[in-house]
Amino acid sequence: MRDVAVVGVGLSKHVSKRRDVNIAELVWEAVSAAYEDAGLTPGEVDGVITGNMPAFEGVNLPECWGAGHWGTYRKPLLRITTGGTTGGSVGHGAFYAVASGLFDTVIAIAFEKQSDGDSTAGLNTVILADIAALLGFGVDPSLLLAFGGGAVGIAVYQASSYMKSSGCTTHHLDKVSVLCRTNAAKNPHAHLQQPGLTPDDVAKTDLMQYPLRFGHVCPASDGACAMILTTGERARKLTDRPAYIRSVASCSDEGALIGIGGSGTLNVDPGRQESCKLAAARAYEHAGIKDPRNEIDLAEPYAPFAHQLLMFYERLLLCDEGEAPAVLNSGSMEMAGELPVCPSGGVISTNAIGASALERIAEAAMQIMGRAGEHQVQKDVHKAVAHGWGGMVNLNVVAVLADTPRG
Amino acid sequence: MEYKEETTSIQGTWPLEQWRWKHETSVLAKKFLEALKDKKIIGLKCPGCGLVYVPPKPYCRCLSIPDEWVEVKDTAVITTYTFTGSWSFGGRLEGTGAPLVIAGVMYDGSDTQTLAILDGVDPDDVAVGKRTRVKWPENPQGGINDIMHSELI
């Protein structure tokens, strides 16, 4: 297996409604920035890995109308779509392409322009398989709203379960939002930038659905991310400090929208996320990391909902289960802390669905390369973990990055 | 980021009501639903690890095939819960009175959880670990709606 490194990252500006550009132009913002960051031109890339959730925009087959616009005309192309983890899976696909020796240099592109479509309609296509199972048990379709209610309607059950098992309180949720949104204020690409936000401000926002308030939940963003990956050898010629992707791992639980599954989706506790622990353990092992708690310098967990930042910090094996609320209180997750978490502001601040999990890898790479600008953390980042979560509350993808190859 | 002038949006509608999907009830579901008519909740037990699946499931996480039908109770323990806020149902419930309380419940004798609406309860009285009982309709119809409503006990 060959060494793989990130040599260029590009992000578009993320806001609720990018009415100034169409989808292809929005993506080009990120793609052109990635080429510029890498010091490469489209002609120097051998292949394209791309993904989004077409149902969110309401237009399918993006390669038909996007490939030419993104400088990827006549290149081999692979499209990957795995729900909220789409961007992570795109990053993994790009890693495999280079690690396998089949491609030397590839570009990973992930995006979502949610304002062009209807996010709830998009989510409904994701959960349609489970809805089909529910209908098979004779559920009155009008009751389905009670079980879905969009992504929040799923996350609330996970939040209640996690809070009971960990001792996480609503005050911890408020503090997570403050951590992320004040970090986001230093990230020019972030959507919700709230400098000076306090836990009291978050606690005063409307209750969406217990236990989550508006302040605990991500926005719907328009945005794109692109990342250029190449071999370790070529990376060292392009930059003094490439970010090596040491390993990737992806693992799925059974569907965990607790519902009347029965035809294949078991009603597992949505707060357990065993697949995240399995993927993390595998990724650390492949990366040559024996003691993640002491070796990992920075984490970008995928947390569109406040409780998930703590839950996935635990499931990424960075502390004991139930310990993350205390770690949050200790200040170690802050930008100047021992193990900064989501210095980018994370998904709770910026969520262009298909792009979000690629942005976790991209942000970890930028921190290792020292290119994060105002949200660059104080400590030197040698090793970082990037995570994605999605599918039917079941899929977890993990990537481990470092400033040196695996050796 | 330099913002240009706005793009042009072309308005249009595409009525999706004309499309129809059809989903079949599984063989296992049929037996499960038939039992509800007698106010009985049944599930499948795995011969490999002993887990009881309610509703029934054709395979187990231990990779064995659950094959023994067992009856479980209509009392359950709450595993998780939520209640509706201002955004639930896209905000459509706002101003309609008491919040809707929905809980994950694990029926006594079962190892899996399912959702139930808790009728007539104050959200403050609900907690993980509390117990519930199914509020059966007078004449169960053999649909999952027969066990959709529970009350705290």
Looking at residue A274, which CATH number applies to its domain? 3.40.47.10
Of A340, A360, A337, A361, the C-alpha closest to A348 is A360
- What type of residue sits at position B108? D
Pick A208's closest partner by Cβ from B53, B86, B144.
Answer: B86
Residue window 77-116, chain B: list those with CB within 8 Å of chain A: 79-90, 99-100, 102, 104, 112-115
Q: Which residues of B touch A120 (CB under 8 A)?
A: 90
How are beta strands A105-113 and A47-51 bridged, if at all?
A: parallel
Chain B contact for A267, CB < 8 A?
A: yes
pLDDT of residue B3: 55
Under 8 Å between Cβ of A17 and A222: yes
Using the Cβ of B64 and the Cβ atoms of chain A, whether some distance falls under 8 Å is answered with no
pLDDT at A135: 64
pLDDT tens readout for residues A13-23 = 999 999 899 99
Exposure pattern of B80-109 as b/e (b: 16+ CB <10 Å)?
A: bbbbbbbbbbeeebeeeeebbbbbbbbbeb
Number of domains comprising chain A: 1
In the stretch 4-23 of chain A, residues with CB closer than 8 A to chain B read 12-13, 19-22
Enclosing domain of residue A243: 4-118+218-402
Which pLDDT value is given to residue A54?
86
Å from A220 to nearest chain B CA?
14
* DSSP, res A219: P
- The whole-angstrom separation of Cα A332 and Cα A313 is 12
List the single range of A104-113, A122-131, A223-232, A309-318 with lowest mean pLDDT.
A122-131
Query: Is there a domain that residue A164 lies in?
Result: no
CB contact under 8 A, A266 and B25: no
The reply to whether A143 falls in a domain is no
% of chain A with per-residue pLDDT over 90: 73
The shortest C-alpha distance from B141 to chain A (Å) reads 10
* Both structure tokens of A354: 């298909």
Q: How far apart are CA A340 and CA A375, in angstroms?
A: 11
Work out the pLDDT band at A258, boundaries 50, 70, 90: very low
Q: What is the structure's pLDDT at A127?
A: 67
Residue A227 in domain: yes
Which tokens hold the place of A193? Answer: 């930038």
Q: Residue A249 domain-assigned?
A: yes
What is the model's pLDDT at position A66?
84
Interface A–B counts its CB contacts (< 8 A) at 150
In a domain, A208, yes or no: no
pLDDT at A263 exceeding the cut of 50 = no
Averaged pLDDT for residues A29-43: 96
The two tokens of residue B141 are 């119809």
Q: Are B112 and A257 in contact, with CB atoms under 8 Å apart?
A: no
Q: What angle do CA B59, B64, B66 make, to 5 degrees?
A: 55
Nearest Cβ partner for A161 among B6, B80, B84: B80
Residue A389 confidence (pLDDT): 93
For residue A185, being part of any structural domain is answered with: no
Chain position carrying tokens 């996320």: A273
A18 burial (CB, 10 Å; 0-12 / 13-18 / 19+) is buried
Which of A145, A207, A259 lies nearest to residue B85, judging by beta carbons?
A207
Per residue of chain B (153 residues), give pLDDT as tens: 455 677 887 788 877 677 776 666 678 888 999 999 999 999 999 999 999 988 888 888 788 999 999 999 999 999 989 887 766 555 555 555 678 888 889 999 998 888 888 988 988 999 999 999 999 999 999 988 899 899 999
Query: Is pLDDT of A264 > 80?
Result: no
- Sort out which chain B residues have CB atoms less than 8 A from A260's CB and list them: 55, 114-115, 144
Q: Is residue A170 situated within a structural domain?
A: no
pLDDT at A209: 86
In a domain, A371, yes or no: yes
Partners of B4 on chain A (C-beta within 8 Å) are 20-21
For the stretch A295-308, pLDDT in tens is 999 999 999 999 99
State how far Cα B85 lies from the chain centre. 19
Q: Measured at the alpha carbon of residue A27, what is the angle toward residues A98 and A181, in degrees to the nearest 5?
A: 95
pTM: 0.92
